[in-house]
């Protein structure tokens, strides 16, 4: 059995974060409000009324955070750029101090020997764009491409590879279908235009990045889908869920088509939002890499009531994280080999752009070490089975604002005391540092 030390030469080790989850400083230096500022301020949206107003105060403390990254011996750092810092209303003139923050961040990373891997959109849409319809509005895709060009013009001289979107699936479903995340809309399947317009935004931004000689990736949340039984009804439900969660966001960028959504009563034009030529545009710039965010498999059974064509069921007999998410490391191997089998030659090299485990303030750190080591072994197994995986960016560098869970779910290798902002490396920090060093030593043996 191959293990994590067998990961190939050139494999890149990293950590991931996102702007709204760590930066704070939400009114500083001309930043405009994002959908998350507005959503989190609404009573009853985020647990205990927490918001990202201060978060990890990374906006001011980034040198300390980069020192922590340097201590890990990282090759790369995946972070996101807050659109409302760069363009406070999502369009028009650039806010120079906002862009200057990322300029400083990038220089400091490079000085520490860490390659920046920016994500242009991690759910913090400028509120002004949401007021005009947000991702339900086709126009937002064009605004995104302009924003991407502005940022790439400023930082592209120092950053080779770029991620357009983070998890358009979670953003559509949690933000627009269920209302658990910002902007808090509860449109159910009428949220589909938010999928298409994000993908159109990806396509337009990808072209802008490519024109500037930059590499393009997207980070999708992917899950192996397990039918609850081998009954035809459960198999059909699993197929329908796979189309919605996985293929809706990956088939268009890799194959230039949408999966069959007939189970949802939706045709190939997703209810009319797909215009002629859109899919061509979405797939026109071949991806240099697919970012995969993996946390857990999803077990699906036939629907128990009309509405959606599936229902979620528990995965029994496995440990669960503090969040209640099932821990199935081999799901990562299954996911990766499944991607290879499904997409074949159309699949670009993969980078794991998120994977991690949450604990609570009072729990031990050992579950995270167990989670990470088992997932990395599963990853090595997938590589041994022929899947081209180039790097692993764990979620997350430090405890941060975990969306609707506020500060309760802690995904960090570094503990953050949100009263004092004191950072304290956890046991998993030392474990990850030692693993990275051991892998390098193993390669040069």
User: Which residues are marked as active site?
Assistant: 167, 354
**Residues contacting residue 322 through CB under 8 Å, at least 6 positions apart:** 358, 359, 360, 363, 367, 409, 410
Q: Which stretch binds ligand BGC (CB under 6 A): 133-141, 150-158, 164-172, 377-385?
A: 164-172
- Using alpha carbons, list the distances in angstroms from residue 191 to 64, 218, 317: 40, 20, 34
Q: Which letter does DSSP use for residue 296 in this model?
A: -
Q: Which stretch binds ligand BGC (CB under 6 A): 1-9, 134-142, 166-174, 193-201?
A: 166-174
Q: Where are the alpha helices (DSSP H) in 212-329?
A: 232-242, 248-255, 278-284
Cα distance between residue 152 and residue 394, in whole Å? 25
Pairing of strands 115-121, 215-221: unpaired
**Which residue in the set 89, 115, 164, 221 belongs to the binding site for ligand BGC (CB under 6 A)?**
221
- Closer residue to ligand BGC, CB minimum distance, 276 or 317: 317
166 counts as binding ligand BGC under rule CB under 6 A = yes
Cα distance between residue 414 and residue 239, in whole Å? 39
Q: List the x/- string, 2-41, binding to ligand BGC by CB under 6 A.
A: ----------------x--x--------------------
Q: Which stretch binds ligand BGC (CB under 6 A): 36-44, 293-301, 342-350, 368-376?
A: 293-301
Residues in 389-418 at the binding interface with ligand BGC, rule: CB under 6 A: 395, 402, 411
Whether residue 331 contacts residue 380, with contact meaning beta carbons closer than 8 Å, is answered with no
Map tokens 């502005």 to a residue. Answer: 150
CA 194 to chain CA mean position, Å: 16
- Using alpha carbons, list the distances in angstroms from residue 422 to 16, 18, 19, 58, 222: 19, 19, 19, 12, 34
Map tokens 């030392």 to a residue. Answer: 430
CA angle 151/173/77 to nearest 5° reads: 35
Q: How far is the CB of 14 from ligand BGC (least distance, A)?
A: 14
249 counts as binding ligand BGC under rule CB under 6 A = no
335 counts as binding ligand BGC under rule CB under 6 A = no
User: Please, what's the largest Cα pairwise distance for the chain?
Assistant: 60
**Which residue in the set 115, 296, 359, 428 belongs to the binding site for ligand BGC (CB under 6 A)?**
296
56 counts as binding ligand BGC under rule CB under 6 A = no
Nearest-CB residue for ligand BGC: 295
Q: Where are the alpha helices (DSSP H) in 256-327?
A: 278-284
Q: How far is the CB of 392 from ligand BGC (least distance, A)?
A: 15
170 counts as binding ligand BGC under rule CB under 6 A = yes
Q: Which residue, 208, 99, 187, 80, is CA-closest to 143?
A: 208
**Which residue in the set 37, 234, 354, 365 belongs to the binding site for ligand BGC (CB under 6 A)?**
354
Cα distance between residue 25 and residue 393, in whole Å? 25
Q: How far is the CB of 151 from ligand BGC (least distance, A)?
A: 19
Q: Which stretch binds ligand BGC (CB under 6 A): 7-15, 35-43, 103-111, 291-299?
A: 291-299
**Which residue in the set 144, 295, 393, 407 belongs to the binding site for ligand BGC (CB under 6 A)?**
295
Contact residues toward ligand BGC (CB under 6 A) are 18, 21, 166-167, 170, 221, 223, 293, 295-296, 325, 354, 395, 402, 411
């Amino acid at each position: 059995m191959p293990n994590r030390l067998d990961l190939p030469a050139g494999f890149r080790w990293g950590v991931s974060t996102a702007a709204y989850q760590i930066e704070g400083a939400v009114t500083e230096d001309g930043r405009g409000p994002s959908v998350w500022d507005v959503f989190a301020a609404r009573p009853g949206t985020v647990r205990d009324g927490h918001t990202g107003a201060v978060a990890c105060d990374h906006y001011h403390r980034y040198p300390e955070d980069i020192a922590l990254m340097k201590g890990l011996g990282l090759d790369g750092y995946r972070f996101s750029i807050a659109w409302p810092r760069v363009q406070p209303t999502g369009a028009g003139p650039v806010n120079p101090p906002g862009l200057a923050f990322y300029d400083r961040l990038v220089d400091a990373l490079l000085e520490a020997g860490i390659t920046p891997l920016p994500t242009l959109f991690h759910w913090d849409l400028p509120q002004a764009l949401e007021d005009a319809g947000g991702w339900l509005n086709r126009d937002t895709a064009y605004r995104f491409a302009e924003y991407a060009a502005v940022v790439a013009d400023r930082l592209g001289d120092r950053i080779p590879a770029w991620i357009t979107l983070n998890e358009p699936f979670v953003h559509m479903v949690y933000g627009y279908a269920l209302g658990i995340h910002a902007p808090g809309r509860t449109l159910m399947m009428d949220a589909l235009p938010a999928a298409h317009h994000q993908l159109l935004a990806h396509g337009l931004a990808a072209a802008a990045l490519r024109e500037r000689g930059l590499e393009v990736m997207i980070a999708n949340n992917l899950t192996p889908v397990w039918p609850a039984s081998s009954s035809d009804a459960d198999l059909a439900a699993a197929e329908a869920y796979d189309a919605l969660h996985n293929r809706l966001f990956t088939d268009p960028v890799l194959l230039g088509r949408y999966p069959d959504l007939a189970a949802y009563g939706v045709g190939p034009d997703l209810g009319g939002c797909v215009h002629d030529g859109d899919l061509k545009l979405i797939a026109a710039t071949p991806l240099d890499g697919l970012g995969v965010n993996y946390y857990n498999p999803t077990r699906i059974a036939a629907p128990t009531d009309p509405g959606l064509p599936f229902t979620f069921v528990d995965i029994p007999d496995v440990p669960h994280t503090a969040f209640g998410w099932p821990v199935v490391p081999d799901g990562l191997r299954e996911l990766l080999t499944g991607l290879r089998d499904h997409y074949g030659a159309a699949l670009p090299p993969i980078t794991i752009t998120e994977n991690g485990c949450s604990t609570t303030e009072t729990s031990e750190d050992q579950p995270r070490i167990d989670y990470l080591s088992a997932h990395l072994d599963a990853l090595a197994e997938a590589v041994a089975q022929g899947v081209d995986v180039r790097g692993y960016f764990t979620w997350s560098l430090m405890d941060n604002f975990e969306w609707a869970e506020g500060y309760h779910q802690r995904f960090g290798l570094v503990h953050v005391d949100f009263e004092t902002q004191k950072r304290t490396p956890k046991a998993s920090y030392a474990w990850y540092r030692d693993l990275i060093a051991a892998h390098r030593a193993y390669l040069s043996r």
